[in-house]
Amino acid sequence: MSTLVIQLPERQRLHARALGETTFDRERRRYYVYVTSTDGLAFEAQGEAAAALLPRRSQVTAVVREADVSWHRITLPKAPAARLRAALVGVLEEALLEDAESVHLAIAPLAAAGQTTWVAALDRAWLQDELAALQSGGVFVDRVVPMAWPDDPPIGHFHVAQAADGTSPQGVTLTWAHADGVASVRLEGGLARALVPSPAPPATRWTASPTAAVTAERWLGAPVTVMPDEQRLLQAGRSLWNLRQFDLARRTRGARALGDWLRQTMSPAWRPVRVGVAVLVAAHIAGLNLWAWHEKGVIETRRSAIQALVKSTYPRVNDADLQRDASAVMLRETQALRTLAGKPGDADLEPMLQAAAAAWPPERPPVENLRFETGKLTLAANGWSDTQIEQFRSVLGQSGFQVEANEGRLVVTRARTRSAA
């Protein structure tokens, strides 16, 4: 998996800013030191670039400098996830130098409730601004890790510190990460000597940046392993720590993937694809319109044929009625001719009585009373069993009638048939 590891600029402290300039604006104009790797062990590229020009990789890790993280060892309280941060604040309230709401907290990986663990504390507003600055440049940080963390066996790293503006060197600094915490001190004076045990633990790993290697060996009196800043940055990226916890935890991976896909499809390299999709959609729309026009013509032709047939059969029909519903006109005129000829229609009394008589159960006496409306025959059926009603309905159904039983009555109607278009 390809990885991009970014070094976050050190948090500004007591730094005079230009009139009208905000911290976010100043940080957004900064350049970020970065390394890329395909396996997390060896870097393939390195450099320095603005957020919008950083390489795009599937995994992005931001590294926080040693001086921007404070470490606190506590017994992890037993609390549900939703209330864990509040519980941590209650435990660390005495140790925090700033207001608890302005501090971001993160728990060590694999920490268990009721056991001793380490908690990292950072400036919340600063970290949020850094993440927002990177996101505004299209870089979405998956993990935030410290450059150094409490470790055993100890690690001592020498490097040349820079001024707040990142321009002038400020002397060699030793970062001492051991089981009791992390400290960064200048080699000048006796504080570094007092901090590092003498002799140092046998398994201590000593490293130094190329520019600080000579000074480190002179101060230590022993050789050190030269580790370029890029290699140390990549080493920090392999840490199990992730400072993106609680309210800063990543919860928008799906939205990020969608946004990345949209930005990619709108890039110049995808212009032929966009043009092809647009042409394909236009062709489909044109094809649908042509098919709809063809189907409309077929329907109009059939409607005209039906109207011509009705007009030739019944010359005296009204053209306006014919335009509205030719099928209704044909049915009405046919019924009128049948009436004039004295022949009963399907919905008249005689055909319906004949059908009911043919289906009448032989064990039932003649009907006591009946009522007829056009197309609807109601028969008295007191004392009929369910079997007799079902047999009566089945026989009439074969003749195109339907039967409804309701409160001792049988209602016979002509079954609805699908009319021709």
Q: 349-414 has which fold?
A: Gyrase A; domain 2 (3.30.1360)
What is the CB neighbour count within 10 angstroms for residue 320? 7
pTM: 0.58
Instruction: State both tokens at 381.
Output: 């059926």
Query: E-strand spans in 108-222?
Result: 116-123, 143-146, 155-162, 169-178, 181-186, 205-208
Rounded to an integer, what distance in angstroms lies between the CA atom of residue 39 and that of residue 44? 9
Distance spanning both ends of the chain, measured CA to CA: 64
Amino acid identity of 207? T
Rounded to the nearest 5 degrees, what angle is found at the Cα of 13, between the Cα atoms of 9 and 18? 85
Name the band, by pLDDT with cuts 50, 70 and 90, for residue 259: low
Rounded to an integer, what distance in angstroms lies between the CA atom of residue 399 and that of residue 74? 90
Contact 404, 411 (CB under 8 A): yes
| 133-148 average pLDDT score | 92
Q: Where along the chain do its domains lie?
A: 1-73+81-98+122-146+239-266, 273-340, 349-414
| 234-245 average pLDDT score | 93
The partner residues of 35 in beta bridges, in order of sequence, read 5, 46
According to DSSP, residue 251 is labeled -
* Tens digit of each residue's pLDDT (9 = 90 or more) over 10-69: 887 654 444 444 444 444 457 899 999 988 888 889 999 999 899 988 889 999 999 899
Structure confidence at residue 396 (pLDDT): 85
* pLDDT(258) > 80: no
Q: Range with the lowest mean pLDDT among 126-130, 173-177, 338-342?
A: 338-342
Residue pointed to by tokens 């399907």: 346
Structure confidence at residue 169 (pLDDT): 59
Structure confidence at residue 16 (pLDDT): 45
Residues 6+ apart with CB under 8 A from 22: none
Instruction: State both tokens at 294.
Output: 């063809």
More confident residue, 316 or 148: 148
Structure confidence at residue 228 (pLDDT): 92
Structure confidence at residue 344 (pLDDT): 67
* Residue 137, phi then psi, degrees to nearest 5: -90, 10
Contact 331, 347 (CB under 8 A): no
Contact 228, 208 (CB under 8 A): no
Q: Range with the lowest mean pLDDT among 13-17, 97-101, 109-113, 407-411?
A: 13-17
Instruction: State both tokens at 386.
Output: 């369910």
* Residue 297, phi then psi, degrees to nearest 5: -65, -40
For the chain, give the mean pLDDT: 83
Instruction: State both tokens at 332.
Output: 């009405």
Structure confidence at residue 341 (pLDDT): 66
Contact 145, 151 (CB under 8 A): no
* Tens digit of each residue's pLDDT (9 = 90 or more) over 114-140: 999 999 999 999 999 999 999 988 899
Name the nearest CA neighbour of 118 among 205, 195, 179: 179
